[in-house]
């Protein structure tokens, strides 16, 4: 699981940066410190620290020490969070030039539309009501104006804006435990299987495929096609 988030870390890093990858499993917790030296093109992955049996997330966080200069990346088991990738098309009122306020509005509306459309299924999978589900993370991967992908849409005119994005949903109680244990917040919160699928999709062809995550007690299956999403999980011996 640890290597699936390295691609995201590279996208966040400055010249020299410290990260802590927090892996939340359904039966345990592990934290792995990573130091990145972009200038020297060096990435150091330290030995992971595992929570003891019955240790709470808050107690485990205290044992990790001062993290004020460390960016937190949270990788969650499919039983604890749900990440969905998708594209949302939004009409631009008069087809005029997009300024900063217009782009922010379109992105915010796209995030809400994807979250609102997916939260019912996510809540069912995570075993909570829709009202108990919160948006833990959201990020934009691509913006296309009238079908053309743009690195920066500011200053361009368009009648239709398509936003390719992902949202991560988490039960409110789980999110509050995470926020209480790590009050400085997380740079990334993602479902691990979906993270693997996106990394693999970025290095392969556009053909659809399945990603199978093997854990000690269970298997998680994720699909990567036009969108990326959890399919199923089952116990194994």
Condensed to tens digits (0 to 9), the pLDDT of residues 54-78 reads 999 999 999 999 999 999 999 999 9
Q: How far is Cα 75 from Cα 126, in angstroms, rounded to an integer?
A: 16
The whole-number average pLDDT for the span 195-213 is: 84
Is residue 84 a contact partner of residue 227, using CB atoms and an 8 Å limit?
Answer: yes
pTM over 0.75: yes
Element (H, E) at 166: strand 160-171
The pairing of strands 16-25 and 28-37 is antiparallel
Q: How far is Cα 189 from Cα 167, in angstroms, rounded to an integer?
A: 9
Q: What is the pLDDT of residue 113?
A: 96
């Amino acid at each position: 699981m640890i290597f699936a988030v390295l691609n995201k870390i590279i996208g966040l890093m400055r010249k020299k940066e410290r990260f802590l990858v927090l892996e939340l499993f359904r039966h345990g917790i592990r934290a792995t410190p990573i130091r990145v030296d972009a200038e020297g093109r060096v990435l150091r992955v330290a030995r992971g620290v595992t929570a003891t049996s019955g240790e709470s997330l808050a107690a485990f966080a205290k044992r990790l020490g001062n993290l004020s200069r460390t960016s937190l990346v949270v990788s969650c088991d499919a039983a604890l969070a749900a990440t969905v990738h998708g594209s949302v098309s939004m009409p631009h009122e008069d087809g005029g030039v997009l300024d900063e306020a217009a782009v922010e509005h379109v992105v915010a509306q796209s995030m809400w539309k994807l979250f609102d459309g997916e939260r019912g299924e996510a809540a069912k999978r995570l075993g909570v009501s829709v009202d108990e589900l919160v948006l833990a993370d959201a990020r934009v991967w691509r913006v296309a104006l009238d079908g053309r992908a743009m690195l920066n849409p500011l200053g361009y005119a368009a009648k239709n804006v398509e936003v390719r994005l992902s949202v991560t949903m988490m039960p409110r109680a789980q999110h509050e435990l995470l926020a209480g244990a790590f009050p400085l917040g997380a740079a990334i919160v993602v479902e691990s299987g979906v993270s693997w699928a996106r990394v693999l999709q970025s290095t392969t062809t556009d053909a659809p495929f399945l990603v199978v995550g093997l854990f000690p007690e269970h298997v998680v299956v994720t699909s990567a096609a036009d969108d990326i999403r959890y399919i199923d999980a089952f116990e194994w011996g």
